[in-house]
Amino acid sequence: MDFTTIIAAIAGLGIGGAAGFYGYKKTLTEKALAFKAKMENIKHIEEERMEQLRKKEEDLLTQSRKKAEEIIARGEEKALRIEENAEKDIIRTQEKLEKIEERLLEKEDKLDEKKEQLEGEKEKLAQQFKQAELLVQEQAEKLSQIAQLSTSEAKQELLNIIRTTEEKEITEFVEKYRTIKKEEADKEAMQIIARVMPRLAAESVGEFTSELVDIPDESYKGKLIGREGRNINFFEKVTGVELIVDDTPGVVRISCYEHEKRFIASTALKRLLKDGRINPFYIEKFFHDVTNEFDDIVLDKGKEALSILNIPMMNPDVVHYIGRFFFRYSYGQNLWNHSIEVAKIAEGIASEMGEDALLAKKAGLLHDIGKVIAENGESHTAVGADALRKFEMHDWIINAAESHHYDVPMTNLISWIVTAADGISASRPGARFNTKDFFIEKMGELEKLIMNIDGVHKVHIMQAGREIMVYVNPSKVTDTDIPAIIKTIGAKIESQLDYPGIIRMVVMRENKIVEYLR
């Protein structure tokens, strides 16, 4: 390649580069102008829109001002109307108050007049009363001077005359009236009890010192005894009860005087039989399980009693005491069953009499709460009443617990209802258990107590002490003395003997004259 060619190439490149640069610069200039024109157009559009927005804003402000002015105007009109109405109401109220005030002033004036009249009449009556007293005193002095007797002696003489002349008539009238009222009361009481008793479906179950536990089959008797008596000896040692395995088919017997021990042992034995693994290890395991759960079992029995009676939940300590009823017996009658029974009977009687059935039901359930709290020698009625006061129970429930054995007076009808319900439950055939010796001893004490009363000739005790027939000496006792003898017998029995329920007493006085006609 020669030099000329090279120069020509370089010149061509230079010319091409200059042309390209010029074209590129021209293009940039055109784009810049176009962008500037576009920006000016956008700015113009923005100014137009801002102007439109300002106009809209001014329009809205104008409309808002107009609406605000209208609203204010309407509000002012409404406020004026309300103010006018209020002023009218105030005027009317003031007029009414003025009229009422006038009437009250008139009544006050009339009352003052009546008061003055009454005071005047009172003074006149006082004067007349004093005059009457003076006249009576003068007449009494004159009568005393004539009869040569004092006022007290004259009264006593008059009473003696009436007693001797009208004794038979008065006695017959009193007896007739008492008999009529007693028959009416007995009839009403029988109707109430007759309507209540069908509602009560109580079971007569005797649980005294033993309990039967079912076994799946006879082979379990051998398992319970164990090799050389290992299992039965260990069971009796751990539980503190006697397990009797005899020829009675399908059952074994647990015997113990302590009801809690017997319950724990029977529950542990039932779980042991259900498990099937009978050996000292599982005997001890199930015994400890039941012992640890015992407080929960007691609480559940309390809740069950509330559920049976449909009573709302009580203080947990009270519920725990109710659960302990299940393990307490009185004369062979389970306290838990007895308390539920008394609550049901009391509820029925209260509803028939129009009293508070729920309150009567609670009082019936808690009337013997002292029996699970009192220690030996303490009165369960007093201890129970103190406990119920501690738990802030209703005063009538406290009085029912304290008075159902007549230790204190009954202050309300609910207490009488609970006492009657307790007597019905306790005296129901089969409800309670007494030994023969204990029964004979009690009847002997009762007969001796009555025979020591002056004027009593003979005593017959019937129906297990629930009916007493007393014969009095007619030469020492008159018909009018009989009510006093009945009261004396009742007071002595209540103060010296414990007795369940109600005792019917019949006192008889008769004269026999025997003659032979020849």
pLDDT in tens, 84-105: 888 888 888 888 888 888 888 8
Total tally of structural domains belonging to the chain: 5
Query: Could you give the CA distance from residue 309 to residue 260 in angstroms, rounded to a whole number?
Result: 24
pLDDT digits (tens, 9 = 90+) for 350-360: 888 888 889 88
pLDDT digits (tens, 9 = 90+) for 360-400: 898 889 888 888 888 766 788 888 889 889 988 889 998 98
Q: How many CB atoms lie within 10 A of CB 250?
A: 12
Domain end point (choices 235, 263, 292): 292
Q: How many CB atoms lie within 10 A of CB 12?
A: 10
Residue at 214 is within a domain = yes
DSSP element (H, E) containing 3: helix 3-147
pLDDT band at 145 (very low <50, low <70, confident <90, very high): low
pLDDT band at 432 (very low <50, low <70, confident <90, very high): low
Counted residue by residue, the chain has a size of 518
Spatial CB neighbours of 137, under 8 Å, sequence gap ≥ 6? none
Annotate 264-302 with three-state secondary structure.
Answer: HHHHHHHHHHHHCCCCHHHHHHHHHHHHHCHHHHHHHHH
pLDDT digits (tens, 9 = 90+) for 207-245: 456 788 888 888 888 888 888 888 888 888 888 888 888
On the question of pLDDT at 515 being above 80, the answer is: no
Residue at 234 is within a domain = yes
Domain end point (choices 427, 450, 484): 427
Residue position matching structure tokens 């002095």: 141
CATH number, domain of 453, equals 3.30.70.1350
Q: Looking at the structure, tell me whether residues 284 and 300 fall in a common domain.
A: no
pLDDT band at 201 (very low <50, low <70, confident <90, very high): very low
Q: Looking at the structure, tell me whether residues 95 and 170 fall in a common domain.
A: no
Range from 189-193, 279-283, 399-403 carrying the lowest mean pLDDT? 189-193
Predicted pLDDT of residue 143:
64
Q: Looking at the structure, tell me whether residues 264 and 330 fall in a common domain.
A: no
Indicate the DSSP class of residue 332: T
- What tokens does 425 get? 């439950």
On the question of pLDDT at 178 being above 80, the answer is: no
Residue at 29 is within a domain = yes
Predicted pLDDT of residue 486:
85
Residue at 122 is within a domain = no
Closest to 336 in 3D by CA, of 207, 235, 430: 207
Predicted pLDDT of residue 61:
85
Average pLDDT rounded to a whole number, residues 315-337? 83
User: What is the share, in percent, of the chain residues with pLDDT greater than 70?
Assistant: 82
- Confidence (pTM): 0.48
pLDDT band at 146 (very low <50, low <70, confident <90, very high): low
Q: Looking at the structure, tell me whether residues 307 and 377 fall in a common domain.
A: yes
Indicate the DSSP class of residue 456: E
Residue at 517 is within a domain = no
Predicted pLDDT of residue 205:
40
Kindly give the pairing relationship between strand 333-334 and strand 329-330: antiparallel
What is the arrangement of strands in the sheet containing 251-255, beginning at the earlier edge strand? 210-214, 251-255, 242-244
More confident residue, 145 or 351: 351
CATH number, domain of 352, equals 1.10.3210.10
Kindly give the pairing relationship between strand 467-472 and strand 504-508: parallel
More confident residue, 412 or 498: 412
Q: Looking at the structure, tell me whether residues 238 and 262 fall in a common domain.
A: yes
Predicted pLDDT of residue 93:
86
Query: Could you give the CA distance from residue 328 to residue 205 in angstroms, rounded to a whole number?
Result: 14
Q: What is the dihedral of CA 149, 152, 153, 155, to 10 degrees?
A: 110
Torsion angles phi and psi, residue 13, rounded to 5: -65, -40
- What tokens does 29 get? 């200039």
Average pLDDT rounded to a whole number, residues 19-39? 77
Cα separations (Å) of 120 from 79, 173, 232?
A: 60, 46, 98
Domain end point (choices 427, 450, 485): 427
On the question of pLDDT at 50 being above 60, the answer is: yes
On the question of pLDDT at 327 being above 60, the answer is: yes
Residue at 491 is within a domain = yes
Query: Could you give the CA distance from residue 444 to residue 462 in angstroms, rounded to a whole number?
Result: 12
DSSP element (H, E) containing 212: strand 210-214
Q: How high does pLDDT run on average in the chain?
A: 79
- Torsion over CA: 207, 209, 215, 219 (sign): negative
Helix (H, G, I), strand (E, B) or coil at 427: helix
Range from 164-178, 202-216, 282-296, 299-313 carrying the lowest mean pLDDT? 202-216
Q: Looking at the structure, tell me whether residues 186 and 218 fall in a common domain.
A: no
Q: Looking at the structure, tell me whether residues 386 and 459 fall in a common domain.
A: no
Amino acid found at 114: K
Predicted pLDDT of residue 82:
86
On the question of pLDDT at 203 being above 50, the answer is: no
> DSSP characters for 450-499?
HHTSTTEEEEEEEGGGTEEEEEE-TTT--GGGHHHHHHHHHHHHHHH---
Kindly give the pairing relationship between strand 210-214 and strand 251-255: antiparallel
> DSSP characters for 231-269?
HHHHHHHHH-SEEE--S-TTEEEEE-S-HHHHHHHHHHH
Residue at 446 is within a domain = yes
Q: Looking at the structure, tell me whether residues 251 and 310 fall in a common domain.
A: no
Cα separations (Å) of 419 from 176, 355, 363, 488?
A: 28, 15, 10, 22
On the question of pLDDT at 196 being above 70, the answer is: no
Q: What is the largest CA-CA distance in the chain?
A: 207
Domain with 485 in it: 436-508
Cα separations (Å) of 340 from 190, 206, 326, 401, 421?
A: 22, 16, 11, 15, 11
On the question of pLDDT at 204 being above 50, the answer is: no
Query: Could you give the CA distance from residue 224 to residue 275 in angstroms, rounded to a whole number?
Result: 13
On the question of pLDDT at 429 being above 60, the answer is: no
Residue at 186 is within a domain = yes
Helix (H, G, I), strand (E, B) or coil at 32: helix
Q: Looking at the structure, tell me whether residues 161 and 254 fall in a common domain.
A: no
